[in-house]
Structure 1
Amino acid sequence: MFKKITLFVIFICYSVSAQTSYLNLSSENWTFNKQNENKKHKATIPGTIHTDLFQNQLIPDPFFGANEKQLQWIENENWEYETHFTLSESELKNQNIELEFEGLDTYATVFLNGNLVLEADNMFRKWTISAKAHLKIGTNHLKVVFHSAVQKGKEEAKKLSYTLPEKERVFVRKAQYQFGWDWGPRFVTAGIWKKVQLKFWNSAKIESVKYNQKVLNESIADLDFIFTIFAQKSGKYQIKLGQKSFPFELKKGQNVVKVPISIPNPILWWSNGLGVPHQYVFRFSLEQNQQKIEEKELKIGLRTIELIQEKDQVGSSFYFKLNGKPVFMKGANIVPPDSFLSRVSDATYFSLVENAKKANMNMLRVWGGGVYFDDVFYEACDSNGILVWQDFMFACSMYPGDEKFVENVKQEVIDNVNRLQNHPSIAIWCGNNENDEGWHNWGWQKQFNYSKADSTQIWNDYKKVFNEMIPQTLDSLLPKEKNIYWSSSPSIGWGRKESLLQGDSHYWGVWWGKEPFEIYEKKVGRFMSEYGFQGMPNLETLQKVMNKEDLNFTSEAFKNHQKHPTGYETINEYMERDYVVPKDFEDYTYVSQLLQARGMKTAIEAHRRAKPYCKGTLYWQFNDCWPVTSWSSLDYYGNWKAFHYQAKRSFENLLLSVNEENEIYKVFLVNDNFESYSVRLELELLSFDGKSLWENSKEVTVKENTSINVYEIPKDEFEKFDLKSSVLKVNWEEVKINYFFAKPKDLKLQKPNIEIKIINDFMIEISSDVLAKDVFLSSENEVFFEDNYFDLLPNEKRIVKLYKAAKEIKVKSLFDTMK
C-alpha cells in the first residue's frame, strides 16, 4: 500500500495543536480520610497514604529512628481519596472522554459522580475507563477507595489449602519490597502513586507505537513503525513524519498500520565505554482532513543484542553480544530509590543513571522485588548507554497460578512491555528473582510441610506463569530482535557446582556463608548477576534519621536501620579478619566501608580476570530505598560509599589487577576495548616511606576485548623485603594500581603528614610524606569529591576535583583508626 521511503532528515515540529487533549486531575484539590472517619485532610497526588499522613503531621517521619514500628497500623486500614473538578460544555462535547490512572496502589474502587466505574487490583498496570457517560457540565466528583492490600492478601491466602512462602505479599500485585526486606523497612503503601488525567478525543486515537528493525548493517537500516490506532468510525487518515505523508483507510475499532522507513548509513547505539549511545528522534502525527488528531515522539537506538549460550568443555557460555561484539557487562542490581515512590523525582532517576555511568558501568539489573521504573529512568539509560536487565516483578517466593491471578499478570506484562520495548537500553526480560532457586534450594517443602500434591500444584503454577504465560505473551508483543527471555535469575542455586558452569549466578558464599573474600577468586561463574557485602553509610547520613545519642550499636533506632538479622555481627566478624576494629563509632563506619570495598574489589576483579569464561558482573546492590546499613554502593541520598569509588576503578575498560597464585604474583591486564595495545609495563616495589626497593619493566601487547596474564613475579624474588611495609606500584601508561601484600590490619603503616593545597573552588592537590592508606576526604557542606578513599603514595601529588566549593575539607586515613 505504501512506497518505502529513504529518510535523510527528520523534521521536528515544536508547536502542537492536536485534537486530542488532556485535563490533569493530579493538580486538583484532593483530600483523604480514613474510611468511616469524617475528618478530611489535604492530599498530594501523586502520593501515598504514608506521605500524606506525614505532611499533615498526623504521623512522625517514617524513616526517623524506630518510628517504622509504630506505623504498621496504617497498612491494615482502608483509605478514601476524593476531589472535585469542573468541566465546560465544550469539553463535554468531545466524542470520547477517558479517565486514565497511570498507577493505583493497589486495591482501588473508583466512583465518578457516585457511579462505580472501576475496581483495580494491580499497582503495575495502567487503568483506563470510558468516562463520558458519568460526567456532567460543571462540578464533578471523583472518589477512590483504597482497600488494605495486607487484608486482601490474607483473604486470598486463606483460599489455598497450603501456605505459600511470604504469605500475603505474593497474592498482591504490588511492589514486594514494601512488605519489608533485609535492606528495607515495611511500609505497605496505598494511594494514587502516578498521574491521573482525563483524555479527550474524537475521531481516532493512537493506542501505541513500536518499531521492528528488519535490516541493520553499515549501509542501511530498514524499519517498520507499527501504529495501533482506534477509530471512532471508518474513514481516510494519514500519518505524517516530517514532510512525508502516509495515507491509509481505518475501519471502525482497532487498526494496525505499518509505516516502512529506511535510514542510510545508520549510526549504531553503543553502551557506555564502547561508543556513543546514538538515538534517532521521530515525531509523527495522526491527521484527518489536514487536521492533527494526535502527535507522538519516539526516540530509538539502532543496535542488535544477543544472548549467547553455547556449550563448551565445562558447561555453557552466557554472555551478550552488542552489535555483533561480545561485551563484558559491568554494573549492579538497582532497587526502588524510595519506600514511597511518588517522592522519586525525574532528577533522582537521572542522577542514579549518571552515577552508574561515572562508575564505568554498562548494565543495571532492575530487580524483581520492586517496580517497573518510570519512563525517565529508561530514557536516562538510553542516553547514557546503560543496558537494562529487566526483571518482572516477582521475587524470592512462589506465587499463585489461578486463572484470575495469571490474567492479571498477563495484562501487567502487556502494559509494561508495550511501554518499555522501544528503549534501546532494554537487553533482556527476566521472569523473576530467585523463585526457582528458592523452590529447589531453600527448603520450603519441608518448612511448610507440603504434600506431594501441594508441591506438584505449586510447581505447576510456577511453570504456568514463568515458562508459559510470560514467554508466550512476549512472543505476541515483541519482534525477535527484542525478545530475549530468561525465566529466573539465577538459573541454578549458589550451593551447587553447576551454578558456576552455566547460566547466571548469584554467589552468596561470602556474607550468607561467612566464607572469606578470597573465595571469590575461586567461585567464578559465567555471568555473576548477584553477590555482595554490606557497608555502613557515612555518619552524616545516619545523623539525618536518628538522634545523636542513638548513634551506637545498642540503640533501637540504630538497630532498626539494619534489616539483616545478623548484619552487624557479620560485618564485625569480617572486619576482625582484615582490619583493626576501631573503637570510635565514626571510625567504625569508615572502616566498614573500606571492608565492603575490599571484598567487592576482590570479587569484581576475579570476574574480570576470568574473561572470557566469565562475561558479566552485576553486584548487589546499587542503591537504597531509605537510609540504612546495606549492600549498596550509593546511600539513600546518593552519596558514594567507598565501594562506589572502588567500583569505578575496578570497572575501568583497561584494568590492571595483581593476584597471588601459589608461589607467584601474577599481573593481569584486562582490555574491554575493541582495539589492541602495545605499551611498556612498569613495576616498582616501594617502601611506605618512599624508598625504591625493586623495579622492572616489560613491553606488553594486549589484544582487543581480552584478559591476559602479562607479568609474573616469583615470591622468592621479594623474600628479602619486608612486604608488610611495602607496596607494589604497577603502571601501564595511564592505568595505575597499588598492590599490598598483607591484610590492612597487618600493614606497618606510619603516621602520614597529609597536605591539601587549594587550587581553586573546584580543584585541590593532595600529597603525603609517607604512604597514606585509604584517604577519605569530607567537608561540612557535603561536597562530592570526584576521587576518594584512595591510596596516596609517598610524595605523590594527586589532583582531586570537587563539584562545589568546600567550606572546610577534613581528611582521614586508615592509620588514624588503628589506635
Structure 2
Amino acid sequence: MKDVTQLGEGWNLHHDGELLPAQVPGCVHTDLLAAQRIPDPYLGLNEHDVAWVGRRAWLYSRHLDYASDHERTDLVFDGLDTAAEITLAGRALGHTRNMHRSFRFDVTGRTGELEVRLASAYDEAATVRALTGERPNVYPEPSQYLRKMACSFGWDWGPTLVTAGMWRPVRLEHWSTARIARVRPLVTVEDTTGRVELHIEVERTEQGAGRPLTARATVAGTEALLTFEGDEAVLTLEVAAPELWWPRSLGEQPLYEVALTLADAAGDPLDAWHRRIGFRTVELDRTADAQGTGFTFVVNGERIFARGVNWIPDDALPSRVTPERYRHRLTQAAEANADLVRVWGGGIYEDDAFYDACDELGLMVWQDFLFACSAYPEEQPLRGEVDAEARENVVRLMPHPSLVLWNGNNENLWGFRDWDWEPELAGNSWGEGYYLGLLPRIVAELDPTRPYTAGSPWSGSWDHHPNDPAHGTYHSWEVWNREDYAEYRANVPRFVAEFGWQAPPALATLRRALPGEELAPDSPGMLHHQKAEDGNGKLNRGVARHFALPEGDFDRWHYLTQVVQARAVAAGIEHWRAHWPVCAGTVVWQLNDCWPVSSWSAVDGDGRLKPLHHELRRVYADRLLTLQPGDGTPFLAVINQSAAAWRTTVTLRLLEADGTTVRETSLDVTAEPRSVRRVQVPADLAPAAGSANEFLVADADGLRSVSFAVPDRDFAYPHPRFDVAVEPVAGQEDKVDVVVTAQTLVRDLLLQADRLGPHVGADRGLMTLLPGERARIRVSGRTDLDAAEIRAALFCVDTP
C-alpha cells in the first residue's frame, strides 16, 4: 500500500541572512508574524508597514531524506503560492505559476537540500503582462496576469497582503506498481435507483506497466469489482432506494461513504480512495416566460427560492483557516437560515473541509471559477494554467452533493459591456473564450451532473444586457451606491446574486483592531479599515435619509449604521421573496470578512455577529410576514417556504405613536406550501399618507412586521422608556436573560452584547416593542450583569 510522509515541519524561511522557522501549510506573512519580524497587518495602519513583503522574492528550504522500499517516490505540493522554482540537491524539479493547482515531482532515490524559491507576484505578473499586453481591471493591481487569489491584491473590503508560500500541505508519496491518479464519481438518481459511476485513472511505474490491476469499490452495501490492464477503468454501482440529500430548508442530508481500493494481480492493495457522496438531482430552470428568463434551482424535483450568502476567503492569509473555523462560519450561515453559499470568484477553491461542512449542514454551494472584475488574457501561459486548474478542481469538488452550480466568473461579462473595457481592449482577448467556451466544455466533459452558467450576472446570451433583471442573474449595486434602500422595491429580478449594504464591525472588534484610537467615523484607523470607494459617504447618506446624522457621537453613529444595514437588506429580501416564483433567490453580499473592516458582511472579521445576521435569520426563515407598499395602501405578504400549509390568524393594528390603537382587525390566512399569499390591507387600517403619528403593525404566530408612512426622522417618536431586569436561566449557569419591558413604543431595540465584554453574545438583534410588551434576550459569556450596565449597551431609535 502507498505510504505517505507529511512534510509540514523542518522548513526554514530565509530572511535577511537568517533562517526563520517556517510552518507548512503557511505563507511568508504567517512565518514573519510568528518570528515577530512584522507587526500584525490587521491592526491599526500596519498594512502599510508590511507592503514590502509582497514585493520581494522568498526562499524556503529544508533537508529532504527518506528511506523507502517502494518503486517510486513523489514530492507533492497541494498548493504553491504562486510563481515557484523547486530544486533538490541543486537540480531543478520544476517551475509553477498557479496557486489553485497541485504539483507532483518524481524524486525517487533523490535526497538533499530541498528549496522552494518564490518570485514576487508583482514580478511574475509583469512578466506575463509583457507577453500578453495590458488588460483593464477594476483595481490598479495586476491580479489578472497570474493564477492567484485576486483579493490578495486588495478589494473594496480587503487589505493588500500579497502572499507567497506553501499554503497547502506538502508530502512524500511512496508507491509501487500503480497509484490512483484521479477518480471522477458521477452520482445520479433515476426513479428510486442511485447510480455511482467511478471513472478511474491510474499512473504506473515502469515496472508496473501492463500489469493487470483490480479495482474494488463499495457504497451502501453494494460492491463492484473490475480487473483491467490499461490506465483507465469505470466501475458502476447501483443503490436501491437511497435516501436523498436535501438542502437544509427541504430535508435531511444523508451521506454515503464510497471506498475504492486498487490492488495488484495477487490481491495486494496498492492505493485507496475514499469520499462521501449524496444522492440527489439538481437542475437549473432557465425557461423563458412572460416575465423574461428564469433562474430557478430545482433539487430532487422541488423548485427552490434560494436563500443565499456570498462567501469570500475567511482570512486574507488563507492558510490560517482551519476545518473548525470553516465549520463555525458555515454554521453561522445555517443559523441565519441560509441554504446556499456562493464561493466568489476573486478568492480560492476552498479546502475540502469547507465542502464537507456544507454537505453536512445542507448548504448548497454555488462555485465560481476564479475570475473576478477584470479582463483576463486568454493567451499562454495563462490559458494552459486555466485549463489545468479547472480540470483539477472540478474533479476534486464533484463528489460533494452540496455543490449545485459551476459559474464562469464574477462580473466580467457585465464589465465588458458597461465598464468601458471594449474600446480599451481593441479586439484583444478578455476572458469570453473561457466563460463561453473552455469552461462549459470542461464541465460538460468531466461533471455533466451539474449545471453551468457563464457568469454572474449573466442574462443567458448577448441578446440581453448581461445585468438585465428580467433575465438570469442580477447584481443590484446602484441602490447601495446612489439610492435609498427603498429602491430595492423598484424591480423584481429573476435571481439576485449580489446586493448588500455596509456597516462597521462590532465595537469590540474595532477596539481590538484600532488599539488606543479615539473612535470616530473619520478617525485614521476607521478610514483605513474602510476600503470601499466613498464608503463612509455612502454610510452617512444611508443614515441621513432616515435619521438625523449624529455629530460627534460615535456610539450613536455606529448603532444607526447597523440599523440601516439590517433594514436595507431586509427590505430587499422581503420584497423579492414576496414575488416568488418570479424571483427565485437572493444571495446577500456578504456573509463573512477576511479582516476587521467596515463592509457588507453579516459576520465581522473577528467572527462577531452584526445585527444583520439576526435580521437574516428572520427574513430567511421558512415563514415570513411582511407589509409591502402597494398602490395606495400596503399589502401583506404571507410567505411560506415550508413543506406544510401555514394557516394563521394575522392581527392588523393601526396605532398612534403613543401606542393607542386606532383600528384593529383579524384575518384568517392560509399560505400553501412553497407559496406566497398576498392580502390587501383594508384602506382604513393604512396610515395616512405622510402621517408622522400613525403606523401599521401585523402580527401572526410570533412574527411581526411594521410599516411607517414617513422616514424615522419625520416620525413623532416618544422618548423611549423601558425597564430592564436580569434573570438567571434554569440549568444554564453560563447564561442570563435580559428582560426588557417597554413603557412606550421602542423601535429597533438592540443589545450590543460585546459592549459587556469581548466574549459576550446575545441571541437576538433588532426588535420593535409596543407599550407593555416584554422581550427576553439571552446573553452568554457573562452572568455578573446589573441593569445599569445593560442599559449602557442598549440602543434604540430615539426622538428626532
What is the TM-score of this pair, normalised by structure 1?
Answer: 0.90
> Is residue 2:434 matched to residue 1:465?
yes
Task: Identify the residue that residue 647 of structure 1 maps to in structure 2.
Answer: 616
Counterpart selection for 2:49 from 52, 70, 82: 70
Cα contact 2:242–2:279 (8 A) shared by 1: yes
**Rounded Cα–Cα distance in structure 2 between residues aligned with 1:70 and 1:511:** 32
Cα contact 1:763–1:799 (8 A) shared by 2: no
- 5+ residue gaps, structure 2, are none
Task: Identify the residue that residue 5 of structure 1 maps to in structure 2.
Answer: none
**Rounded Cα–Cα distance in structure 2 between residues aligned with 1:226 and 1:121:** 28
**Rounded Cα–Cα distance in structure 2 between residues aligned with 1:660 and 1:563:** 34
Tell me: CA distance 1:632–1:410, structure 2 relative to 1, closer, same or farther (3 Å). Answer: same
**Rounded Cα–Cα distance in structure 2 between residues aligned with 1:711 and 1:33:** 71
Counterpart selection for 1:239 from 216, 219, 244: 216
Task: Identify the residue that residue 709 of structure 1 maps to in structure 2.
Answer: 678
Secondary structure of the residue that 1:456 maps to in structure 2?
A: coil
**RMSD over aligned Cα, in angstroms?**
2.3
Cα contact 1:781–1:806 (8 A) shared by 2: no
Task: Identify the residue that residue 409 of structure 1 maps to in structure 2.
Answer: 386
Counterpart selection for 2:63 from 75, 84, 88: 84
Aligned AA (2:115): K
Between stretches 518-527 and 789-798, larger displacement belongs to 789-798
Task: Identify the residue that residue 544 of structure 1 maps to in structure 2.
Answer: 512
Task: Identify the residue that residue 516 of structure 1 maps to in structure 2.
Answer: 484
**Rounded Cα–Cα distance in structure 2 between residues aligned with 1:497 and 1:203:** 52
Counterpart selection for 2:572 from 580, 586, 603: 603
Cα contact 2:467–2:473 (8 A) shared by 1: no
Task: Identify the residue that residue 624 of structure 1 maps to in structure 2.
Answer: 593
> Is residue 2:189 matched to residue 1:207?
no
**Rounded Cα–Cα distance in structure 2 between residues aligned with 1:87 and 1:268:** 46
Give the superposition deviation at 1:711. Answer: 3.8
Q: Deviations over 1:34-72 (max 9, x none)?
A: 4xx432112121111112112212111111111112222
Secondary structure of the residue that 1:337 maps to in structure 2?
A: coil
Secondary structure of the residue that 1:87 maps to in structure 2?
A: coil
Tell me: CA distance 1:580–1:202, structure 2 relative to 1, closer, same or farther (3 Å). Answer: same
Cα contact 1:552–1:585 (8 A) shared by 2: yes
Give the superposition deviation at 1:647. Answer: 1.1
**Rounded Cα–Cα distance in structure 2 between residues aligned with 1:317 and 1:230:** 44
What pairs up with 1:166-181 in 2 under 5 angstroms? 166=140, 168-181=142-155
**Rounded Cα–Cα distance in structure 2 between residues aligned with 1:246 and 1:30:** 43
Task: Identify the residue that residue 299 of structure 1 maps to in structure 2.
Answer: 276
> Is residue 2:774 matched to residue 1:797?
yes
Counterpart selection for 1:364 from 341, 357, 377: 341
> Is residue 2:290 matched to residue 1:313?
yes
**Rounded Cα–Cα distance in structure 2 between residues aligned with 1:632 and 1:665:** 30
Task: Identify the residue that residue 30 of structure 2 maps to in structure 1.
Answer: 51
**Rounded Cα–Cα distance in structure 1 between residues aligned with 2:484 and 2:465:** 18
Between stretches 721-730 and 171-180, larger displacement belongs to 721-730
Tell me: CA distance 1:596–1:491, structure 2 relative to 1, closer, same or farther (3 Å). Answer: same
Aligned AA (1:490): P
Counterpart selection for 2:261 from 281, 285, 294: 285
Task: Identify the residue that residue 155 of structure 1 maps to in structure 2.
Answer: 127
Between stretches 118-127 and 396-405, larger displacement belongs to 396-405
> Is residue 2:462 matched to residue 1:489?
no
Cα contact 1:231–1:255 (8 A) shared by 2: no
Q: Deviations over 1:613-655 (max 9, x none)?
A: 1001011111111100011111011111111111111111111
**Rounded Cα–Cα distance in structure 2 between residues aligned with 1:500 and 1:715:** 35
Aligned AA (1:108): A
> Is residue 2:360 matched to residue 1:387?
no
Secondary structure of the residue that 1:662 maps to in structure 2?
A: coil
Tell me: CA distance 1:265–1:200, structure 2 relative to 1, closer, same or farther (3 Å). Answer: same
Give the superposition deviation at 1:743. Answer: 2.3
Between stretches 758-767 and 566-575, larger displacement belongs to 758-767
Tell me: CA distance 1:160–1:659, structure 2 relative to 1, closer, same or farther (3 Å). Answer: same
What pairs up with 1:311-710 in 2 under 5 angstroms? 311-445=288-422, 450=424, 454-458=425-429, 461-478=430-447, 480-482=448-450, 484-491=451-458, 499-512=468-481, 514-583=482-551, 584-687=553-656, 689-710=658-679
Counterpart selection for 1:130 from 96, 103, 106: 106
> Is residue 2:683 matched to residue 1:728?
no
Give the superposition deviation at 1:728. Answer: 3.2
Q: Deviations over 1:683-723 (max 9, x none)?
A: 2334455443322112212122122212423167645x996
Give the superposition deviation at 1:193. Answer: 0.6
Cα contact 2:746–2:797 (8 A) shared by 1: no
**Rounded Cα–Cα distance in structure 2 between residues aligned with 1:181 and 1:718:** 44
Secondary structure of the residue that 1:132 maps to in structure 2?
A: coil
**Rounded Cα–Cα distance in structure 1 between residues aligned with 2:71 and 2:780:** 53
Cα contact 1:25–1:85 (8 A) shared by 2: no
**Rounded Cα–Cα distance in structure 1 between residues aligned with 2:630 and 2:240:** 52
Give the superposition deviation at 1:581. Answer: 2.0
Secondary structure of the residue that 2:710 maps to in structure 1?
A: coil
> Is residue 2:779 matched to residue 1:810?
no
Give the superposition deviation at 1:240. Answer: 4.9
Q: Deviations over 1:759-788 (max 9, x none)?
A: 324341523222322222212143222212
What pairs up with 1:87-106 in 2 under 5 angstroms? 87-88=66-67, 91=68, 93-106=69-82
Aligned AA (1:423): H
What pairs up with 1:747-766 in 2 under 5 angstroms? 747=715, 748-760=717-729, 761-766=734-739
> Is residue 2:227 matched to residue 1:249?
yes
Task: Identify the residue that residue 39 of structure 1 maps to in structure 2.
Answer: 18
Cα contact 1:230–1:255 (8 A) shared by 2: no
Cα contact 2:184–2:446 (8 A) shared by 1: no
**Rounded Cα–Cα distance in structure 1 between residues aligned with 2:249 and 2:188:** 27
Aligned AA (1:433): N
Give the superposition deviation at 1:521. Answer: 0.5
**Rounded Cα–Cα distance in structure 2 between residues aligned with 1:149 and 1:498:** 33
Q: Deviations over 1:497-552 (max 9, x none)?
A: 9711111000111122x112111101221000011111111111111111333422
Aligned AA (1:220): T
**Rounded Cα–Cα distance in structure 1 between residues aligned with 2:589 and 2:686:** 38
Aligned AA (1:574): G
Cα contact 1:730–1:736 (8 A) shared by 2: yes
Task: Identify the residue that residue 23 of structure 1 maps to in structure 2.
Answer: 5
Cα contact 1:686–1:727 (8 A) shared by 2: yes
Percent identity between matched residues is 29
- 5+ residue gaps, structure 1, are 1-18
Task: Identify the residue that residue 269 of structure 1 maps to in structure 2.
Answer: 245
Give the superposition deviation at 1:97. Answer: 0.8
Between stretches 499-508 and 309-318, larger displacement belongs to 309-318
**Rounded Cα–Cα distance in structure 2 between residues aligned with 1:498 and 1:559:** 31
Aligned AA (2:46): N
Task: Identify the residue that residue 712 of structure 2 maps to in structure 1.
Answer: 744
Give the superposition deviation at 1:113. Answer: 2.1
Number of positions where the alignment pairs a residue of Structure 1 with one of Structure 2? 775
Aligned AA (1:576): A
Give the superposition deviation at 1:580. Answer: 2.4
Q: Deviations over 1:280-313 (max 9, x none)?
A: 2233433343433333322111111111111112
**Rounded Cα–Cα distance in structure 2 between residues aligned with 1:456 and 1:497:** 19
Task: Identify the residue that residue 230 of structure 1 maps to in structure 2.
Answer: 203
Tell me: CA distance 1:541–1:199, structure 2 relative to 1, closer, same or farther (3 Å). Answer: same
Secondary structure of the residue that 2:651 maps to in structure 1?
A: strand
**Rounded Cα–Cα distance in structure 2 between residues aligned with 1:100 and 1:498:** 42
**Rounded Cα–Cα distance in structure 2 between residues aligned with 1:163 and 1:623:** 30
Give the superposition deviation at 1:131. Answer: 1.3
Counterpart selection for 1:195 from 169, 179, 189: 169
